């Protein structure tokens, strides 16, 4: 969702073609008045698609624009996110603003990551803590009664829009229809992941959504205080669910922004968890490990893959994926403009964990997967993408903490 989509050669529908035309017209606008004109037409087209029959039109257009017009791509992402996570609802003659929000929790461990399931009383308590510390006084709120992970969250803008609408109507007491949560993938072997408390805030149109929206006070200080209060109270419930884990609490905020922020925070933690696990479970100290970094994707880098081997062998024994979250991160070597050197960041993190032999492969490599089990392949020192295989004497699965 927050990660850059793969490229596609799918032929666009008529609605998709119009979406491209309106987005590119907005991208080339030369004044704020013209911006407003195109934004209104673009919003109408997006709302038509979000409220229509199930489709992937918006996602298909984004794939096309990613390959052909990055400026237009960024504009469409922003507009699609805004319209799918927020709306205006009229209920009993009153207009309300509604926002889908999340409160992410990021956890990592050297053991097996727990599911972190909530009981009904725990879910109700978290809602009360959010009302007490984060959500503006007097705002209505409805929460999904579970901590969900990325696999369980909406995988399209349409699905996000549906969650937002249903939770907003629940908050207003205008409906009892709940959100459909996607099937959770097998978490076996997970060492780092994010969980999200997700809900919708509803207020009379134009009123504040969050407690720090008070113009007479210091919003930054209030925001920080709200976060500290939320972390203190919510940790009483959440921390015991993740025994044996390091847990971080992110600022509750708008859905898409927090999805990206959680993705960003997970990346170094997942890498740290992988190295820590290799050092403890596989009994391989950092100076016995070798790490190879390569960018993978089609025409641009969509993710970095880090393959681990030992100094005495080129066989890949483990791997870690670092997803790309922006066009600056996706820039290939020697691309002009602002470039974020992710391999340098990965290298620094690995060296902090004691892995001194780190190699970087140039260029972009195909993101290969195993045909039999679907596992991603990782690079060996020669640049060949290989299936990771631990020696037989080492148990591959992380252990549960008791």
224's CB contacts (< 8 A; 6+ apart) are: none
**Based on the domain organization, do 77 and 104 belong to the same domain?**
no
> In the chain, how many domains are there?
3
Within-domain flag for 7:
no
**Based on the domain organization, do 353 and 296 belong to the same domain?**
yes
What pLDDT was estimated at residue 191? Answer: 85
**Based on the domain organization, do 316 and 369 belong to the same domain?**
yes
pTM of the entire predicted model: 0.86
pLDDT under 50: residue ranges of the chain? 1-9, 333-337, 399-402
User: Cβ distance 274 to 193 under 8 Å?
Assistant: no
How many C-alpha atoms does 93 have within 13 Å on its Cβ side? 0
**Based on the domain organization, do 238 and 354 belong to the same domain?**
no
What pLDDT was estimated at residue 72? Answer: 96
Closest CA to 61 of 134, 136, 10: 10
Domain carrying residue 38: 14-83
User: Cβ distance 30 to 63 under 8 Å?
Assistant: no
What pLDDT was estimated at residue 188? Answer: 57
Chain centre to alpha carbon of residue 382: 32
What pLDDT was estimated at residue 10? Answer: 60
What pLDDT was estimated at residue 400? Answer: 43
Within-domain flag for 181:
yes
Provide the strand spans (E) within 205-300. Answer: 246-249, 253-254, 289-297
Within-domain flag for 242:
yes
**Based on the domain organization, do 245 and 132 belong to the same domain?**
yes
Within-domain flag for 300:
yes
**Based on the domain organization, do 245 and 114 belong to the same domain?**
yes
**Based on the domain organization, do 122 and 219 belong to the same domain?**
yes
**Based on the domain organization, do 172 and 258 belong to the same domain?**
yes
**Based on the domain organization, do 152 and 200 belong to the same domain?**
yes
């Amino acid at each position: 969702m927050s990660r850059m989509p793969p490229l596609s050669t799918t032929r666009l529908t008529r609605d998709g073609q119009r979406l491209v035309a309106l987005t590119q017209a907005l991208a080339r606008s030369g004044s704020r008045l013209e911006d407003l004109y195109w934004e209104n037409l673009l919003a109408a087209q997006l709302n038509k698609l979000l409220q229509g029959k199930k489709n992937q039109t918006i996602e298909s257009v984004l794939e096309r624009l990613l390959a052909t017009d990055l400026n237009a791509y960024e504009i469409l992402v922003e507009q699609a996110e805004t319209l799918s996570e927020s709306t205006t609802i009229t209920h009993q003659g009153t207009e309300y603003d509604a926002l889908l929000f999340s409160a992410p929790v990021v956890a990592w461990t050297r053991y097996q990551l727990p599911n972190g399931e909530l009981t009904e009383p725990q879910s109700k308590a978290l809602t009360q803590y959010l009302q007490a510390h984060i959500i503006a006084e007097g705002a209505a709120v409805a929460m999904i009664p579970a901590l969900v992970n990325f696999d369980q969250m909406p995988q399209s803008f349409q699905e996000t829009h549906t969650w937002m609408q249903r939770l907003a109507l629940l908050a207003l007491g205008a409906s009892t229809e709940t959100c459909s949560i996607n099937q959770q993938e097998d978490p076996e072997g997970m060492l780092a992941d994010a969980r999200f408390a997700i809900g919708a805030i509803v207020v009379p149109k134009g009123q504040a959504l969050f407690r720090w929206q008070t113009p007479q006070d210091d919003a930054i200080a209030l925001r920080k205080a709200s976060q500290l209060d939320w972390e203190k109270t919510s940790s009483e419930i959440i921390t015991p669910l993740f025994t044996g884990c390091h847990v971080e609490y992110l600022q509750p905020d708008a859905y898409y922004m927090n999805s990206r922020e959680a993705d960003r925070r997970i990346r170094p933690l997942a890498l740290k968890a992988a190295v820590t696990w290799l050092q403890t479970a596989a009994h391989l100290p950092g100076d016995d490990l070798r790490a190879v970094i390569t960018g993978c994707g089609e025409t641009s880098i969509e993710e970095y893959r880090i393959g681990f081997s030992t100094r005495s062998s080129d066989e890949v024994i483990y791997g870690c994926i670092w997803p790309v979250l922006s066009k600056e991160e996706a820039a290939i070597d020697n691309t002009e403009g602002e470039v974020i050197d992710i391999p340098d960041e990965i290298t620094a993190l690995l060296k902090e964990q004691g892995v001194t032999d780190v190699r970087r492969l140039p260029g972009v490599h195909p993101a290969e997967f195993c045909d039999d089990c679907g596992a991603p392949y990782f690079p060996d020192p020669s640049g060949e993408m290989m299936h990771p295989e631990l020696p037989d004497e080492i148990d591959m699965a992380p252990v549960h903490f008791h």
